[in-house]
Chain A
Amino acid sequence: MMELLQTLQLLGQDLLGPAWLPVWTAVKIMIIILPIMGGVAYLTLAERKVLGFMQIRPGPNRVGYWGLLQPVADGLKLLTKEFIIPNGSNKFLFVAAPVLALTPALAAWAVVPFDDGMILADVNAGLLYLLAMTSLGVYGIIIAGWASNSKYAFLGALRSAAQIVSYELAMGFALVCVLLAAQSMNLGEIVRGQSHGTGMLGWYWIPLFPMFVVYFIAGVAETNRAPFDLAEGESEIVAGFHVEYSGMGFAIFFLAEYANMILIAAMTSVMFLGGWLNPFHGWPVLGAMTDAIPGLIWMLGKMSAMLFIFLWFRATFPRYRYDQLMRLGWKVFIPLTLIWVVVVAAWMQTPYWLW
């Protein structure tokens, strides 16, 4: 795969000269974006299957063998439906909102390392960039809620804005712990910093376990997923911020939500679960058996495991009440993360820091 890309790049350089760089970057972007879109499509199927099995029913099983063509059918259905723009809505913002939701969700992937060196933009401030991009996603939701000129949509947007701003703080502090431990904000360096121990014992989920939990839960809240899906809240405010959207507008919000989920799963894997590293590296028998597996497979495996937990959450927990949600963010997570920042900083000065 990598050799093929290399020869392709050399060929293009000969052909186009300096104009090749933007073309090549666009090609690399497509190599990242297209599998994510496919992943989003099949994540929806996986979600419905997993929810089905957890509720003892088969899930979608009519379109294609084992329901495998269901995402294609859903996509076609949404594509061919009319995109209704409500009277009294702000037309430009109404159309722009889904785009604003999807763009940051995809832009964040530029700095995610899939394997050693398999990264689009190897920037030093990668961690900050990711945090900034995930915080921009809220604009799509707020603007959608406001531009719809509907009370339910507006309520959903306000809920979502308060929720995302609150959980971003806890998320940021959890990431501060990671960058303390790794002494770098480069995501590749963060993964390499976890390679010193024996397999999975060297990853940051052990010293930063509370942060791992906080980060993942804050990630669930940031993506507006159950049990923190108050922005949508089907049983309370119909569908929240996207109640007025139909057809492709609705589909793009869906894409953004699932792309964000995959992103949170990827970030959790990179920062706490050793990214592309082999969990059994250096273990007696398993290590030798599994070292041949490429890093990309490990990375995707870890992401899938985290995504399964997302779906598991949805099947298991009832929706939070709004005041409980705010309490969890401000009174539990933020004090906990603040304390753990100090603990990690002090711990790193002692000889007992093994990571």
Chain B
Amino acid sequence: MNFETILFYLFAAVTVFAALRVITARNPLHAVLFLVLAFVSSAGIWLLLEAEFLAITLVLVYVGAVMVLFLFVVMMLDINLEQLRKGFWQWLPVGAMLAALIVVQMVYVLGDKTTGAGMTAVRHAADYDNTKELGRLIYTDYVYPFELAAVLLLVAMVAAIALTFRRRRDTKTQDISKQVSVKRNDRVRIVSVPSVKKQEATESSAHVAE
């Protein structure tokens, strides 16, 4: 058993444990943090497979951005745990059936010699650039599926904004670019006030100096 195998089992064990805790943790915030842990340890497994671009992107996109927003929302929600736990036994059979279906599908796909676990990872030299290779494939062989996925995401984004965007009439929004570009002369008026007599002025300044 070499070092890499030990690392694999370590990451795998952490991933499974964290994934289990995501659904069993009582506090929703803890569940989100365990999901973060699951993402990080699966990124570790991807690194072991020499897929460094995907691994780092997983950390960057999911851990660094998506899960931060998840945390953000979960922290601000006022969650009634009793309410959520109600009807657990009632819906358990449906959930179990769905889980069984997913297990069957995964066994079917991963058990296949040509697509899943039957394949062995190809080892590359140290100077092999995973990122460049991935980019080349995406923009040549898979350019249409890739562009299609991009358009789909764009549509989803526009739809999400359109669905949630409400223009309220009673807000007093400030035009910040106007505020920023304001000049001194717009706000301050310099007036020339005739000063007091010379003798008094020197007297008072002497007073201040003391």
Contact = CB atoms under 8 A, between A and B. Distances in A.
A142 B68 contact: yes
B68 A132 contact: no
A124 B130 contact: yes
Contacts of B63: 132, 135-136
Contacts of B52: 123-125
B204 interface: no
B61 to A, nearest CB: 9
A131 B57 CA distance: 10
A328 to B, nearest CB: 9
A232 interface: no
Interface string B166-182: 00000000101100100
A135 B60 contact: yes
Nearest to A332: B177
Interface string B67-106: 0110110011000000000000000000000000000000
B110 to A, nearest CB: 27
Contacts of A185: 131
B129 interface: yes
A165 B69 contact: yes
Given A132-B56, A135-B64, A161-B71, A125 B176 contact: no
B64 A168 contact: yes
Interface in B154-209: 174, 176-177, 180
Contacts of A93: 33
A257 B25 CA distance: 31
Contacts of B60: 128, 131-132, 135
A125 B36 contact: no
A142 B71 contact: yes
A135 B64 CA distance: 5
A323 B53 contact: no
Contacts of A124: 52, 129-131
Contacts of B59: 132, 135-136
A180 to B, nearest CB: 12
A138 B60 CA distance: 12
B53 A128 contact: yes
A146 interface: yes
Contacts of A338: none
18 contacts: A123-B52, A124-B129, A124-B130, A125-B52, A132-B56, A132-B60, A135-B60, A135-B68, A136-B59, A139-B68, A143-B33, A158-B75, A158-B76, A165-B65, A168-B64, A323-B174, A327-B176, A327-B177
Interface of B: 29, 33, 36, 52-53, 56-57, 59-60, 63-65, 68-69, 71-72, 75-76, 129-131, 174, 176-177, 180
